[in-house]
Structure 1
């Protein structure tokens, strides 16, 4: 079996463009992959056009390791976010093809499942007025849909510092959310790399009474010494890693012992097997895996395949019940959160267990998607 080519399909919303890739073979089998780029979708599509000619066409979709190695190193230049995302969408599509050809789900090819059920947490749910009352109502809606966990960035446009008024208001928002979800639900606290170490530590202590499940990206991701400073001074689990695009770069993070939970994005770090390798390394450091997942239903399905066979998998992020939920229509077999358990049931269908509906995808054309975390009202994820 050989790859004959690929097609790319960009599904647009005002705040995110999702790039789907369908890999085609000479035996008629196809596979699908997905990633979400921020402001670099055209660059990704351009890279994939060149990579198709240079690496992809004519390759054996079963030889995943070889294809990833050639795409990563065969152009000599160091692979960054765009290249690793391009590798990821093609890689997960190859796993989809392999699973279909063998009649088994991808998790069966990665060692077999350790669970059929993966806990979900909601994101994208607070696209509303930024008040305690509105956040209370929105959080209650999340719980009513069966979720047992959610995440929120309550810090407005905070950057390095947050003044007393802003800090007090952020605390009032979290107080309202905790009241809405009750004492047992998990509440993840997102900082989006906003703050200096001292500000992050102060805010973590202010918010500790509401028992956050983790403190995510408290400082900008480039400086591990700054992250270590925060980790040394707070008693909350630290989560980070969505903006690391090569598993090799996690080596220093593990060595720093600054993170309790790592958050690679399967769609940015080279795909399913690269993330599985990283998860195995994390397990040797007694570190949990909670992947970043701001994509659509194909990326969710691919990450669930990984989750099913990964012993140190904690929980999976999910946007698509709240932020532009209509895009779930573009994927047949889209994973759903069980309202009785707050979990995904992992598919037992061959491959990834999903298919892209290219006709429906065409109804969501690429947009000039813009998501600026420093702009007033960013949390609404609405057109500017």
Structure 2
């Protein structure tokens, strides 16, 4: 079996473009992969066009390990977000092809299941007015849908510092959410790499009474010494890793023990195989894995293949019940959250299929997501004016 064509299809929303990649073979089997780009979609498409000629065409989809090696190192330049995202799409599609050819789910090819279900946590649910009452109402809706975990960034457009008034307001938002969901629901606290170490430590102390399940990316991700400084002064678990795009670059994070939960994005770190290897290394450092997942149903399905066979897999992020939930319609067999969990699927491959007609209803957009702008949490279309 050989790869004959790579077909990218972009599904657009105002704040994120989802790039689906169909990998076609000479035996009629087609696999699908996915990644989510913020502002770099055209760059990704350009890379895939070149990589198709230079590396992909004629490759054996069963030999994904060799294909990843050639795509990652065969152009000599150091692979970053765009290259690793392109690799992820193609590599994931190869696993999908292999599973379909053998009639088994991908998790079976990765070593077999260790669980029958994976816990989900909701994100993208607070696209409402930034008030305690509105956040509480939205949080109650999340719990009413069966979720037993949810995540929130309550800090507005804070950057490095947060004023006393804004700190008090952020605390009021979290207090309202915790009161709304009760003591038993996990509440993840997102900081989006906003703060200096001292500010992150101060805010973590302010939030401690509300028992956050973790503090996520408290400082910008480039400086692991700053993260270690925070970790040494904060009692809550520290989570990070969504903006690391090569599993080798996790080495220093493991060595410093500066995090308790790692959050690789399967769509940015090279795909299923790379994520599975990273999870195994994390296990040797007694760290949990909770992938960053701001993609659509294919990326969710791919992340679940890893989740079902990984002993230290904690939980999976899920946007697609809340922010632009209609994009679930572009995929047949989209994973669903029931009673707060994703159930094991025995369907071959990833267990999903891209619906080309439905995807055509969501053309690529000039997606924009600015975490430093007021109202970013609404994920609404941006004005084109000055």
Normalised by the size of structure 2, how large is the TM-score? 0.99
Q: Report Cα offsets for 1:13-64 as digits up to 9, x if no partner.
A: 0000000000000000000000001100000000000000011110000001
Q: What aligned pairs does 1:86-125 form with structure 2 within 5 A after superposition?
A: 86-125=86-125
Aligned to 2:6: 6
Aligned to 2:131: 131
Q: Which runs of 4+ in 1 moved over 2 A?
A: none
- Is 1:356 the counterpart of 2:354? The answer is yes
Equivalent position SS for 1:337: coil
Aligned to 1:240: 240
Aligned to 1:208: 208
Deviation at 1:248, TM superposition (A): 0.1
Equivalent position SS for 1:94: helix
Equivalent position SS for 2:143: helix
Equivalent position SS for 2:23: strand
Structure 1 unaligned blocks of 5 or more: none
Equivalent position SS for 2:357: helix
Deviation at 1:250, TM superposition (A): 0.2
Q: What is the distance in 1 between the residues matched to 2:203 and 2:112?
A: 42
Q: What is the distance in 1 between the residues matched to 2:43 and 2:354?
A: 22
Q: What is the distance in 2 between the residues matched to 1:8 and 1:359?
A: 14
- Is 1:183 the counterpart of 2:176? The answer is no
Equivalent position SS for 1:267: coil
- Is 1:69 the counterpart of 2:89? The answer is no
Q: What is the distance in 2 between the residues matched to 1:369 and 1:250?
A: 29
Aligned to 2:308: 308
Aligned to 2:365: 367
Q: What aligned pairs does 1:52-63 form with structure 2 within 5 A after superposition?
A: 52-63=52-63
Q: Report Cα offsets for 1:334-372 as digits up to 9, x if no partner.
A: 00000xx20001211000000001111011000010000
Deviation at 1:116, TM superposition (A): 1.5
Equivalent position SS for 1:222: coil
Aligned to 2:83: 83
Q: What aligned pairs does 1:207-356 form with structure 2 within 5 A after superposition?
A: 207-338=207-338, 341-356=339-354
Q: What is the distance in 2 between the residues matched to 1:65 and 1:7?
A: 21
Q: What aligned pairs does 1:126-165 form with structure 2 within 5 A after superposition?
A: 126-165=126-165
Q: What is the distance in 1 between the residues matched to 2:131 and 2:358?
A: 36
Deviation at 1:6, TM superposition (A): 1.0
Q: What is the distance in 2 between the residues matched to 1:330 and 1:6?
A: 19
Q: What aligned pairs does 1:160-171 form with structure 2 within 5 A after superposition?
A: 160-171=160-171
Q: Report Cα offsets for 1:293-320 as digits up to 9, x if no partner.
A: 0000000000000000000000000000
Q: What is the distance in 1 between the residues matched to 2:364 and 2:196?
A: 36
Aligned to 1:22: 22
Q: What is the distance in 2 between the residues matched to 1:84 and 1:35?
A: 10
Normalised by the size of structure 1, how large is the TM-score? 0.99
Q: Report Cα offsets for 1:68-113 as digits up to 9, x if no partner.
A: 0000000111000000000000000000000000000000000000
Q: What is the distance in 2 between the residues matched to 1:100 and 1:257?
A: 39
Q: What is the distance in 1 between the residues matched to 2:136 and 2:276?
A: 37
